[in-house]
Structure 1
Amino acid sequence: MRVDLFDFDLPTENIALRPARPRDSARLLVARGAEPFDDSIVSELPQLLEPGDVLVFNDTRVIPAQLEGKRGNAAIGATLHKRIDLRRWQAYIRNAKRLSTGDRIDFPAEVQATAEHRHDDGSWTLAFAGDEPVEVLLERAGNMPLPPYIARKRGTDEQDREDYQTMFAAEDGAVAAPTAALHFTPDLIAALDERGVGRETLTLHVGAGTFLPVKAEDTDDHAMHSEWGRIEPDVARRLNEARARGGRIIAVGTTSLRLLESAARPDGTIEAFAGDTDIFITPGYAFRAVDGLMTNFHLPKSTLMMLVSALVGRDRIMAAYAHAIAQDYRFYSYGDSSLLLP
């Protein structure tokens, strides 16, 4: 399928640079089947769901994985992507042409790493010096890895350490937030509990590959990045039981959806899961595990734009995005959200 089929024009003023406050005051575009679109707000989500439905959240925690350093006099930027072991991480490198195997990179706060190996996709394995956990080093020397379309416009600051983290964040390892869950607050969770809407968590450590553009002209030629995820056996069991009782499984964010679909059998039963997934969902995919999705608005020609098109249809998504732009919705990671119910 041609990648340009998922393109659209977005005015720059529709790109959100800060989240809504309070978080659940963000707008929510509701798309149910072929019905007209509804304009709602996130705090009204309990009224949009039914008792017995289950929301599935990603409990990954974003680490300050963006590092700015020097190799001699050369400026080197590193965005950690995926843990290899206790001391080594795969990273995307800015100014990589100034880097060779064995070079030492000096980061702030006396953090050092050696460029150990260059991968076929241009990323590098960085081996960090010392005995402290790499996550501790990052807390000293790193910045929150905001998406490029935000970082280029205003940089990052201390507020982002709170803003770019969901209330469910518990498991260190992500270098991008599962942004649909940024909209949730304790008050909203209490209202969902009162409504009888269940919730479960899984873990998918979102990698920096989520920001990479699709360079291929056809989806068949795109190599999807892999990410590590886990679904505990008890979570899988409860989700299967909820669905057997007639409840809908609503993924909060494309990360939750991708892991649920990776763990699903052909009959829709969700199994426990622990490992890497590089699932690439495009139109024509037969969904097995999920009945709906809450998700923010995605970049043109991105793999996530293809995913939501697969869920509700490309024409329906293009119409929804045109509606959102006409109604001045705020887009992308810090922007508004949508509830897609096929």
Structure 2
Amino acid sequence: MKTSDFYFDLPEELIAQDPLEDRSSSKLLVLKKETGAITHKVFKDIKEYLKAGDCLVLNNTKVIPARLIGEKEGTGAKIELLLLKRFEGDVWETLVKPGKKAKPGTRVIFGGGLLTGEIIEIAEEGNRHVKFHYEGIFEEILDQLGQMPLPPYITHQLQDKNRYQTVYAKYEGSAAAPTAGLHFTKELLQELKDMGVEIASVTLHVGLGTFRPVKVDDVTRHHMHSEFYQVLPEEAEKINRAKREGRRIICVGTTSCRTIESAADENGVVQAGSGDTEIFIYPGYQFKVLDCLITNFHLPESTLLMLVSALAGKEHIMDAYKKAVELKYRFFSFGDAMFIE
């Protein structure tokens, strides 16, 4: 299976640069995975496709303002840090630009000295391990100095930080939003609950590996970055009970999908617990738990496009994407949605 099998022509103007004013007014393309049949709707119409007893799985991770812009101690040269993963003792794995100025021993000053980062070693793929020094509470300082780490394809400045969070974001730790969830409003979620849809929550802290291009020709040789996930016992039980009773498991976003598929044993029973996952889902994968998926429109040759192709079949997906391009659907993080049922 070649990476080029997942190529399609995406006009740059279809990559959404700004969120819509009303989260739930995005377009919704409904794709039947068995037949490839397509229906065009608006996202709030998702109520027509969900029913009492469905178990809707949300990723309740919260994006941290992980982009820090500071200056190199001594020279004042501008250095940008993107926080990727926290280790113990205020050490983070980071992406540093420009990398050549970031040798071990380099100190970077942020906010006039509110925060100082010391580069302690070069990690894999040129990332840097940075130890931070500060007075007070790190999260509060980060909230004051950091910016939302929008994907590289989005060039507009985000006016409201909360528009890159889901309305149910709870646990801080992501470098990117689980973007399928951005379409939900609190009102829409309440309407679904009132209909009898059961809500289960899992946590996967989204890393920038999500946006990492596939650089190998052979899809199977691509390596995913590890991401931390957690499934609480009561949430695992909700999902397992629904599965036992023959009710549909509908994941909101590829991150929720990857979490429950990672946490499931060979019998499809979701195990409570936490850990790191490097699961890479591409055509040929047999889903153990998930039945349906709410997702956004992904970029050509991306691992996310491969995941949805594993669920609905590559031909159906590529056909749906062709139609989406023709009808000027908006792509990527702030774009429109697809329901694969």
> In the alignment, is residue 76 of structure 1 matched against residue 79 of structure 2?
yes
Q: Which runs of 5+ in 2 are unaligned?
A: none
Q: CA deviation at 1:86?
A: 4.3
Instruction: Name the structure 1 match of 2:138.
Output: 134
Partner of 2:123: 119
CA displacement, residues 66-118 of structure 1 (integer Å, 9 cap, x when unaligned): 11122234322111111112411101111101111111011224221001111
Note if 1:95 corresponds to 2:98.
yes
Quote the residue 1:232 is aligned against.
232
**Structure 1: which amino acid aligns with 2:277?**
T
- For residues 138 and 93 of structure 2, the distance between their equivalents in structure 1, rounded to whole angstroms, comes to 12
Separation (CA, whole Å) in 1 of partners of 2:328 and 2:109: 44
- 2-structure distance, mates of 1:95, 1:45: 44
RMSD of equivalent CA atoms: 1.3
CA distance in structure 1 between the aligned counterparts of 2:187 and 2:43, rounded to whole angstroms: 11
Give the AA of the match of 2:91: R
Q: Distance in 1 between matches of 2:177 and 2:112?
A: 25
Contact 2:65 2:149 in 1 (8 A): yes
1:326 counterpart letter in structure 2: E
Q: Is the 8 A contact 1:52 1:196 kept in 2?
A: yes
Distance 2:112 2:167 in 1: 29
- Show the 5 A alignment for 1:36-51: 36-51=37-52
Preserved contact between residue 65 and residue 145 of structure 1 (Cα < 8 Å): yes
Say if 2:243 and 2:289, in contact at 8 Å, map to a contact too. no
- SS of 2:176 mapped into structure 1: coil
Q: TM-score by structure 1 length?
A: 0.95
Matching residue of 1:218: 218
CA contact (8 A) 1:81 1:209 kept: no
Could you tell me how far apart the structure 2 residues matched to 1:90 and 1:129 are? 15
Deviations 1:219-253 (A, max 9, x none): 22212100101000111111111122221001100
- More divergent stretch after superposition (263-272 vs 105-114): 105-114
**Rounded Cα–Cα distance in structure 2 between residues aligned with 1:31 and 1:273:** 33
**SS state at 2:126 partner:** coil
Q: Tell whether the 8 Å contact from 2:36 to 2:316 is kept in structure 1 after alignment.
A: no
Q: Separation in 2 of the partners of 1:109 and 1:245?
A: 58
Matched, 1:10 2:13: no
Equivalent residue for 1:282?
282
1:1-342 matches, within 5 Å, as: 1-32=1-32, 33-71=34-72, 72-110=75-113, 111-151=115-155, 154=156, 156-159=157-160, 161-341=161-341
Q: How many residues align?
A: 337
Asked if 1 retains the 8 angstrom alpha-carbon contact of 2:7 and 2:301, the reply is yes
| Stretch moving more, 124-133 or 1-10 | 124-133
Alpha-carbon distance between aligned partners in 2 of 1:172 and 1:45, rounded to the nearest angstrom: 28
| Deviation readout 1:152-185 (Å, 9 max, x if unpaired) | xx2x2441x0110100111011110000000101
3-state DSSP class of the match of 2:255? Answer: helix
The CA distance in 2 between the partners of 1:173 and 1:120, in whole Å, is 20
2-structure distance, mates of 1:321, 1:266: 32
Sequence identity, in percent? 43
Structure 2: distance between partners of 1:37 and 1:133: 50
Q: Distance in 2 between matches of 1:35 and 1:216?
A: 29
Question: CA offset at residue 5 of structure 1?
Answer: 1.0
Q: Which amino acid aligns with 1:67?
A: L
SS in structure 2 at match of 1:150:
coil
Alpha-carbon distance in structure 1 between the residues aligned to 2:263 and 2:22? 34
TM-score, structure 2 as length reference: 0.96
Shift of 1:35: 4.5
Q: Separation in 2 of the partners of 1:109 and 1:158?
A: 24
Gaps of 5+ in 1: none
1:314 shift after superposition: 0.9
CA distance in 2, matches of 1:56, 1:330: 24
Structure 2 counterpart SS, 1:121? helix
The worse-fitting range, judged by mean Cα deviation, of 129-138 and 210-219 is: 129-138
